[in-house]
Structures are given as C-alpha cells and as structure tokens.
Amino acid sequence: MQAELLQLLASHYGLSGTLKELAGYEDKNFLLKTDANGEKYVIKTTPNTTDLPLWQAQNVVFKALADMESLSDLQLSEVVPTNSGVEDDVLLVEIGGKAHLLRVLRFVEGGFYAEAQQTPALQQDLGQKMGKLNKALKTIDCPLALRYRRFEWDLRYLLDNSKRLNCIQDPKRRKLVHYFLLQYRTWVQTALDQQRQQLIHNDVNDWNIIVEGEKVVGFIDLGDACQTSLICELGISLFYMMLHKADPIEAACQTLAAYHKEYPLEIEELDLLYYLIAGRLCCSVINSGYNAQLHPENEYITINEKPAWALLEQLFSINPIHAANAFRKACGFPPKATVDHEQFLATRDQHISRAMSISYKTPIKMERAAFQYMYADDGRTFLDGVNNIPHVGHCHPKVVEAIQQQAAQLNTNTRYFYDQLNTYAQRLTAKFPASLNKVFFVNSGSAASDLAIRLAFAHSGRKHVLVSEHGYHGNTLIGIDISSYKYEGKGGTGQASYIKKAPIPDPFRGIHKGKDSGAKYVREIDQILAKAEEQQTPFAAYISESIIGCGGQVIPPKGFFKSAFASVRAHGGLCIIDETQTGFGRVGTHFWAYEQHDITPDIVILGKPIGNGHPLAAVVTTDEIARSFETGMEFFSSFGGNPVSCATGLAVLNVIEEEQLQAHALAVGNYIIQALQKLALQHPQIGEVRGTGLFLGIELIEDVKSLQPATTLASKIKNEMKQRGILISTDGPHENVLKFK
Ligand code: PMP
C-alpha cells in the first residue's frame, strides 16, 4: 500500500519522502516526512468512498478557518492543494485494487494535551481557545453534508447507540450505561434541540488538542465536525478534561469558565452538561465494546476505555444537581433553588397528616436517585442504606423501561387474558418449592398480610392468630391486629381478642438467651397452643417474619422455626412467613430468608422489593389453601397483578438473575459484617452484629452486663452517618439497633 501511496503523492502533490502509519480504526492515516526539507504531512485515506461529499465539506471548512484572522494564534488542519485541481482537493484513487478517498493535510507541530501536564493554566487556556474556535466556526456557512449529518458521535443522536448496548459484556457496567442513556432521554433529548445550533469541531479530545507548555496552539482532526447544539462541544471535550481527576467537576470548571468568558454560554445549556458528559462517556464505551468485537486485534480501540469506566462510576456518586450548580457558578450564574423547609412543611401540614413521619431532624428534600445513591436538592449525594424497596437499585433502567413500555401498551386487570400475568406467575412461583404454586397479586405488603390471614381463616375455619412479639405486617385493620410492633407500640390500643403473642425469639436480648434458647422459645409456643386448645380458641395460623426487622433485625435461633412449625401444624394451624423485607435474595445465602431454616411455609407474604418501588405485593400459597378461598365470593384487586405490575416484577427478577445480586449481597454483607465485628472488638457499646447478606443489624448497648440499650448513641450515629452522606435507620423496641439494608 505504501509504495502505491508514495506514487500517488508524487504525481498529485509533488511530494516524496517516507511514510509512517498512524493509529486509527478503519481509515488508514500516515505521516509523510519529505526527503527535501523534512516537512511533515498527514495523509488520510478511507475505503468509504461514499464519504466524498463529507470530505469535501470538511475541506471547505478547513480552508475557511485557515483564512480567519481571529484564529491566527491557532494551528488547524490545513488542506494541501492537489496539482490536478480536483474539487475541494479530495482525490478518488485506487489503492490495492480498491477505490479510496485521499487527502493531504499539513502536520500540526506540538505535543498532545493527553501527554501534557494538565495545569489550571493549561485547562483555562484550552477553554479560551475552544471558545475562539467555536466563535469562528459559527461564522462559517455550514456545508450541507455537515449540516444534515446523522451519526452516533453527534450527541443529539446519542440514543442511536442504544442498539449496541449489548456490546458491553459485563451486566453491571452495561446497567450504568443504560442508566445514563435513560437519563439522557429523560432530561436532555428534547431540551437539546431547543438550544443554539452551529457548526462545531465535535471531537476536541485530548489527542486532538496540540499544546506547547501551558498554551494550546492548535486543534486537529475535524473529521467529526457537524452542525449540532453548541453545548455538545463542551459535553464531549470536558469528558477528557475530567479523566484521572480526584475532583472531575472542578477540573471541568477551569476550562468551562474560560470558555464562557470568550464565548458566553446560557444557563439552560449548562444544565444539560452533566448528562451530556455522561452521554459522551456512554458513546465512547459502547463504541469501544462494538469496535473491540469488530477488530479484536486493535489495541487503540480500548485505549480510552479504562479511564472512561472509572469516570463513569465517579460521575454516579456526583449528584447531577451539584454538577449543574458548579457549572453555573463557573459561569457566574446563581445555583438552582433549594426548598424552603419551613414553607414546605407548612404546605405538607395543610394536606398531609402528621401520622406520617418524616426522617431526620432536618429532613432531606430528595430530587433524583441512581442505584445505591440518592440525590438531594442541595447537591448532596447519599448512599442509601435504609431503603430495601428499590431492591435492584433506584431507577434501574430495565425496571423503568419495563414500566414505561407496558404502560404504553396495555394496563388492565385480571378479569382479562394477558400474557404478563401467566408469565410472571410462572416465573415467581418457580422460586418456591412445588407445593407453593398459587399466587394472589395485590398492591402492598399490608394488603398481602391481610389476605394471608383471610386465607388462613377460610382454610382452617378458625378465627385466632398467633403472632410474634415486635412483629410488623401492615397497616390495615388486620395488619395492625397482627403487628405487636404497632398495637403495643406508641399509640397502640392493645392486643385484639383473637390474637395471642409468642415472645420474640431473640437470643441476644429476649427472655431466653444463649445456646439452647431456641428450644425454650418453642416451649413457650407449645404452651400457648395447648392453652388455646383448652380454651377452644385454636389458632388458624402462626405468622412471623423470617428475620424480625422491626424487632431489631432479630434472627431466630437455629431450629426454632422448624420445631415451632411442627407444633403449630400438630395443632392444626397454618404457618405464614412474611418475606416482605427479607425476600428476593437480599439475605445472600438463599432467595428467601425462610430457606435458611429448612422450612416450607403454607403461606408466604411478599412485598417491598418485589416491584422495586412499584406498588406490587403477593401472597403465595398451596393449591389446597387457595381452593378454600373459592367460596363463591370473588377475590378481586383492581390493580393487583395488572400488566404493568407483572412486567415490573418480571424485570426485577431478570435483573436479580442477570446481575447475580444474591451472590453480591452475600459478598458485600460478609465484608461489612467482618468489618463491623472488628470494630466491635474496640467498642463494647457494639453489643451484637447480626444479619445475613444485605440485611444487617448492629445492637448498641450501654454495657455488656445490663444490656441497657444505647438508644441515644444509636440516634447520634444515625445522624452523624447522614452528615457523612450515608443513610441508615434505627429500629427495635428500644430504637437501639442500627439497621443497614
Ligand atoms: N410486612 C413487613 C415485614 C413489612 O416490613 C412491611 C412494611 N414495612 C409490611 C408487611 C407492609 O407493607 P406495605 O408498607 O407495603 O403495606
């Protein structure tokens, strides 16, 4: 190829010398050093001859820029004219028996920004020079080929990249990119078209910026230039300025502020920047993945990939509102308004009952969330360790898109046939032993526990329920009746006549402690069951959570559930397990927490994580029990199991499997438990670290002897953690157990 090229260069340009191939994807580029005086040229070739109008248009732009007075201190790609007078100096030639386009540009001397020391002075100079370049580009009458160009490197068409999302092999990385594409669609897509449009360079990356010392002296490679929204220029370029930086936003602001001074930006443009930067990162890693598949031998493709991933993950931890405010500040604009807490509370109080509590002395106004992070209105980012509802992560794109898609397609009720109900029921019941094969869908954990009790009444013909001390199951009438946490707690009106309570099987603080406490707790249950029989008030059911969450993350002793179930069943009662907090792999070792106890319940209650925040809950039971409910009275829930809910639940199951979240919960949980246990050796106030997977409790005490609960300390830690950006809660009858989920 090189011999042919040299011949072409001699005949069309009168140039001769030695060629060296430059790195690139599909196009082959060479550096020519002339024999005569050592002058350097960049020789560009491509087999994509349909790019002819594009290359001609680019050459028109190069020539226009070369004539501009305002750019006299910048070297830009300068077109070398052919001696044959071809239109716009792009040649159509044959190389290696194949048609190619060929053009020659003058080599721009200097170092690369990528290899320079990126001092604030250089970052600022870059901003000013980019401003100058954009100002100049605005004055060019954009050739049609660049005006109507549609390609994936124009951020206006970022979503065209979605079709290649699967080129990213790692599901965890893929979900980050998917998330940002979804945010782009939500925040940017429509707004971007409303911003200023003009011709831009469109690829001011760190290998296209030429520097000398702390000055930018040139820009090369206008191959991606097109007419688009001006702010895309910064979205693209700033990403490179942010790589390898401890504070990437601060680094971007240096360049941004200088750019704004030269060529003022608008506040609406700045507010799109965070997602545009993230968008460009997505574009970059998707294309690396795609090209790595096409050209596994080409290392250049993945050169930028590693730092890009690091920055993408870093961006997640940065609240987009913080970024927007920093960008605004750099350009002299005021920050986004934050809520006036007093006023907000007054309005809330007008319409919302104080029975609904608010977390923290100074509440947090939440605006957005992403996976493990929540973003407040003032720019703070919080790691969410409280909320076990967004089980696969806040705003998980697969779940969000499943909801959006199904809501746009069909939402109706169980009185019709639709595929989603059967599919989801099959997938969900497949997670249970064969005997638990019937499912009732409802909209809340409360509705599910209410229904579970009704099923038990219907099946047994009995009217009494045995509950666990400090248990919580819901907010309906029955829900409160079976929740000792509520009826015995603040504002509670005491135990209903059809309820009996078994002591919480807490081996740390309960009435029986230590090694064989399990058997002692079972004996308590035996006695209650026997007494009920004597009094002819036999139990329809015994209900408990697998881990008693509101009781303080209490894990009943080994063997307790097995023996307790045997006793209840021997007395003709059903065993109901509430997995609302603990289900769907959270405990790490098993999909359901009850499986840790080698038992099979008769009825299982599911809620919270099942829909990742979408109002979905379920009761899973046996054929036989479900049949007892077929009395002639219809069971109908307007929303329960509707197509949108089923699509949501299905998406949640898919994500849990695809991202192997159960194993992840186990690994992360074990790591945290070990770290906390080490901490416990130094701090006697840590009475016990307990839990499994990502369902943890740290019981705080005043001293080991009295086990006096350290309630004030727990509250102090919770608030200190919030100050440090981590949300955890306190629970247990003494509010002395730190909960982390
Ligand atoms: N059961 C348990 C164990 C719960 O934790 C909860 C909610 N905290 C419920 C049932 C009730 O669920 P919901 O709030 O969806 O009605």
Ligand 1 centroid to residue 739 C-alpha, Å? 16
User: How far apart are the CA of 289 and the centre of ligand 1, in A?
Assistant: 42
- Give residue 579 CA to ligand 1 midpoint distance, Å: 9
| CA–CA gap between residue 701 and residue 714 (Å, rounded) | 9
Q: What is the pLDDT of residues 668-701, one digit of tens each?
A: 999 999 999 999 999 999 999 999 999 999 999 9
Give the containing element (helix H, strand E) for 320: helix 320-330
| Residue among 427, 426, 476, 431 at smallest CA distance from 451 | 476
CA of 449 to the centre of ligand 1 (A): 8
User: Residue 450 — left, alpha, or beta (φ > 0 → left; ψ -120 to 50 → alpha)?
Assistant: alpha
- Distance (angstroms) between ligand 1 centre and the Cα of 296 equals 51
Q: What's the CA-to-centroid distance between 591 and ligand 1, angstroms?
A: 18
Residue 287 phi, psi (nearest 5)? -70, -30
Q: Which of 442, 451, 470, 472 is the best mutation target for the ligand 1 pocket, counting ligand atoms within 8 Å of the beta carbon and taking the most?
A: 472
Look at the block and give the residue holding tokens 């560009």.
Answer: 44
CA of 476 to the centre of ligand 1 (A): 11
Nearest-CA neighbor of 185 among 397, 372, 377, 381? 397
User: Which residue, by CA, sits nearest to atom 10 of ligand 1?
Assistant: 473
Task: State pLDDT tens for residues 545-573.
Answer: 999 999 999 999 999 999 999 999 999 99
Work out which ligand 1 atom sits closest to the CA atom of 582.
3
Q: Separation of 615 CA from ligand 1 center, angstroms?
A: 12
Give ∠ CA 185-189-193 in degrees, rounded to 5. 175
Q: Atom 13 in ligand 1: which residue has the minimum CA distance?
A: 445
Q: What is the pTM of this model?
A: 0.94
Q: Which atom of ligand 1 is nearest to the CA of 545?
A: 3
**Ligand 1 atom nearest 471 alpha carbon:** 3
Pocket of ligand 1 (CB under 6 A): 444-446, 449, 472-475, 545, 549, 578, 580-581, 607, 617
Residues 532-541: tens digit of each pLDDT: 999 999 999 9
Mutation to probe ligand 1, out of 580, 581, 606, 614 (largest number of atoms < 8 A from CB): 580
Q: Give the pLDDT score at 295.
A: 83
Find out whether 307 and 281 touch, Cβ atoms under 8 Å. Answer: no
Exposed/middle/buried for residue 231 (C-beta within 10 Å: 0-12, 13-18, 19+): buried
Q: What is the DSSP string of 512-575?
A: S-STTHHHHHHHHHHHHHHHHHHTT--EEEEEEESSBTTTTSB-PPTTHHHHHHHHHHHTT-EE
- pLDDT of 303 reads 66
CA–CA dist 77, 105 (Å, integer): 6
- Closest ligand 1 atom number to CA of residue 449: 10
- Structural tokens at position 72: 């006299």
Q: Which tokens sit at 30? A: 């060479």
Q: What is the mean pLDDT of the chain?
A: 96
Query: Measured in angstroms, how far is the CA atom of residue 171 from the centroid of ligand 1?
Result: 30
Q: 737, 701 in Cβ contact below 8 A?
A: no
- For a mutational test of ligand 1's pocket, the pick from 442, 473, 604, i.e. the residue with the most ligand atoms closer than 8 A to its C-beta, is 473
Q: Please, which residues bridge with residue 606 across strands?
A: 618
Residue nearest to atom 12 of ligand 1 (CA): 445
Whether residue 464 contacts residue 537, with contact meaning beta carbons closer than 8 Å, is answered with yes
| Tens-digit pLDDT profile for residues 267-315 | 999 999 999 999 999 999 999 999 888 888 877 666 668 899 999 999 9
| Strand-pair partners of 610 | none
Please, which pLDDT band fits residue 138 given cuts at 50, 70 and 90?
very high
Q: How far is the CA of 479 from the centre of ligand 1 (A)?
A: 9
Residue percentage of the chain with pLDDT more than 90: 93
pLDDT score at 291: 87
Whole-number Å distance, alpha carbon 149 to ligand 1 midpoint, is 54
Q: Residue 567 in contact with residue 559, Cβ under 8 Å? A: no
Point out the ligand 1 atom lying closest to the alpha carbon of residue 475.
16
Tell which atom from ligand 1 comes closest to the C-alpha of 446: 16
Query: pLDDT at residue 77 above 90?
Result: no
Structure-block tokens of residue 221: 């490679």
- pLDDT of 729 > 80? The answer is yes
Q: In angstroms, how far is CA 312 from the centroid of its own chain?
A: 11
Average pLDDT over every residue of 500-505: 98
Instruction: Kindly report, residue by residue over 178-210, the tens digit of the pLDDT.
Output: 999 999 999 999 999 999 999 999 999 999 999
How confident is the model over 623-677, as pLDDT tens digits? 999 999 999 999 999 999 999 999 999 999 999 999 999 999 999 999 999 999 9
The protein residue whose alpha carbon is closest to atom 1 in ligand 1 is 473
**Residues 487/494, Cβ–Cβ less than 8 Å:** yes
| Minimal-distance CA residue to ligand 1 atom 14 | 445
617 Cα–ligand 1 center, Å: 10
Which protein residue's CA is at the shortest distance from atom 2 of ligand 1? 473
- Nearest atom in ligand 1 to the alpha carbon of residue 615 is 15
Which of 443, 446, 470 gets mutated to test ligand 1 (max ligand atoms within 8 A of its CB)? 446
Taking only the tens place, the pLDDT of each residue in 148-178 is 999 989 999 999 999 999 999 899 999 999 9
d(CA 160, CA 149): 13
Give residue 25's pLDDT: 64
Centre of ligand 1 to C-alpha 393, Å, is 19
Contacts of 413 (CB under 8 A, 6+ apart): 636, 638, 639, 641, 642
pLDDT in tens, 404-427: 999 999 999 999 999 999 999 999
Report how far ligand 1's centroid is from the alpha carbon of 628 (Å): 25
